[in-house]
Amino acid sequence: MATMHFDPATLLADFPILAQEVHPGVSLRYLDNAATTHAPRQVLDSIRDTMERHYANVHRGIHALSEQSTELYENARGKLQAFLGAEHAEEIIFTRGTTESINLVARSWGDANLKPGDEILLTEMEHHANLVPWFQAAERTGATVRCAPITDDGQLDMEAFKSMLTTKTKVVGVVAISNVLGTINPLEEIIATAHAVGSVVIVDGAQQAPHQHVNLAELDTDFYAASGHKMLGPSGIGILYGKRELLQTMPPFLGGGSMIRRVTTEGFEPAELPTRFEAGTPPIVAAIALGVAIDYLKKIDLNAVEEHERTLTVAAQDRLQALGGVRILGPSPDKKVGIVSFVVDGVHAHDIAQRLDSHGIAVRAGHHCTMPLHKRLGVAASSRASFYIYNTQEDVDCLVSAVEDTQRFFRKRK
């Protein structure tokens, strides 16, 4: 598909929600994209169009609307397969998002394969979504969770990671891009070394799939999770990728309609992939809308997006640091993408976010679902600005001057 020239200022016109004043006379500057992104008009139109013209339950009715819905829903799966470079469409399971995808693997694969003495190797920079399901799996199976440490500049300590990787390791869970540090992890190396000891690998791609080209077949990961709402789609839809051979051996996660081939009063026979893991009526409208979001992303060159986000990251980091009294979390901009988390001396993250909001700037404040990481960094909370395709240099200007203003506000009274 031909990619179009990428110009954030032009793209902005596609995002009605961004063209608003959040307070009288104050325009919105949306810098909370790592939490969730906004949807372009095309995605919004799709939601309406599906509901107005095609909507019915999928895989069930022998009637026109059900056939249309089913086709649109399965087309969306095909779009995700192509976008993420999966070999087969049935390797893409629709879920509610990254959290559900990881829970599916921890429950289904985990309960069937883990036993006392086995180890689950995670990292200190994981989101709670890739920690808690494994703690729960460990509780059920008697396996042990270990967390590989990070270096002081917020990169995975690969030496330590490799030393913790042993034949006891049955699963490695790693975030592709940290939602706090922005750190891009060396997935190829992690996956190859994990496979060498016979471990499977699950990659939390929540912050990668929206920002970087992914080719799952080449990457050779066993599982990969992502959320539609972080890549221009609506909330309530995400994907789990799993290698076909693995998914085929796994017991179903949720039970109910759709996921069965046959039910008798004695029991059930699970369905084939992918419906085996899609019990009940799925988020039909959201899945179709995510397919349209993928169409939108495919028209843009993701390499150009990454470059653009890096330019904004460098500018934001350099200028925030120049203010003095600002600590940036994570590695240098060449090793990260799109995320600038920072701590301002003497001003709590909540107070920063509140003051920034009065300038129309939306940032996240808190621990961003990474309590172990914040403990490791020695900060209780941080503020996070995160960029996406529609952010501009002007957004960075506003961010920096609002942080400066906040420092002045709390300083002048002392």
Partner 1 sequence: MNEEEIYQEHVLDHYEDPYQKGTCPGATHAHEEDNPLCGDVVRMELKIDDEGKIADVWFDGTGCCISLASASMLTEKLHGKSVDEAKAFAADDMLTLFGARLTPNRQKCCLLPWRALQAAMFSPTTDESQK
Ligand X SMILES: Cc1ncc(COP(=O)(O)O)c(C=O)c1O
Q: Which positions are annotated as active-site residues?
A: 369
Give min distance, CB of 178 to ligand X, in A.
Answer: 7
Cα(240)–Cα(95) distance, rounded to whole angstroms?
A: 7
Binding mask 55-84 for partner 1 (x = CB under 8 A): ------------------------------
Cα(382)–Cα(412) distance, rounded to whole angstroms?
A: 22
The yes or no reply on residue 380 touching partner 1 (CB under 8 A) is yes
Contact between 38 and 17 under an 8 Å Cβ cutoff? The reply is: yes
Q: Which residue, 173 or 252, is less far from ligand X as judged by CB?
A: 173
The yes or no reply on residue 31 touching ligand X (CB under 6 A) is no
350 binds, among ligand X, partner 1, none (CB under 5 to 8 A by kind): partner 1
**Binding test (CB under 6 A) with ligand X, winner from 39, 165, 206, 337:** 206
Give min distance, CB of 180 to partner 1, in A.
Answer: 14
Residue 273 structure tokens: 């992939």
**Binding test (CB under 8 A) with partner 1, winner from 78, 85, 257, 366:** 366
DSSP tag of 275: G
Q: 164: Cβ–Cβ under 8 A, 6 or more apart, which residues?
A: 121, 146, 148
Measured at the CA of 156, the angle between CA 154 and CA 160, to 5 degrees, comes to 130
Q: Which residue, 118 or 204, is less far from ligand X as judged by CB?
A: 204
Q: How far is CA 25 from the centre of its chain?
A: 33
The yes or no reply on residue 112 touching partner 1 (CB under 8 A) is no
The yes or no reply on residue 212 touching ligand X (CB under 6 A) is no
Give min distance, CB of 139 to partner 1, in A.
Answer: 20
Nearest 5°: phi and psi at 312? -65, -40
Binding mask 5-44 for partner 1 (x = CB under 8 A): ------------------x---------------------
Residue 287's closest CA among 93, 128, 131, 125? 93
- Where in 248-307 is the site for ligand X (CB under 6 A)? none
Contact between 251 and 108 under an 8 Å Cβ cutoff? The reply is: yes
The yes or no reply on residue 343 touching ligand X (CB under 6 A) is no
The yes or no reply on residue 358 touching partner 1 (CB under 8 A) is yes
Helix axes 41-49, 284-299, angle to 10 degrees: 150
Residue 179 structure tokens: 């939602």
Q: Where does this chain touch partner 1 (CB under 8 A) — which range of 97-105, 239-247, 324-332, 364-372? A: 364-372
**Binding test (CB under 6 A) with ligand X, winner from 90, 118, 204, 395:** 204
DSSP tag of 228: G
First-last CA distance in the chain: 59
Cα(204)–Cα(174) distance, rounded to whole angstroms?
A: 6
What are the residues binding ligand X (CB under 6 A)? Answer: 34, 97-99, 127, 129, 175, 179, 204, 206-207, 227, 238, 369
What are the residues binding partner 1 (CB under 8 A)? Answer: 23, 348-351, 354-355, 357-358, 365-367, 371, 374, 379-381, 409-410, 413-414
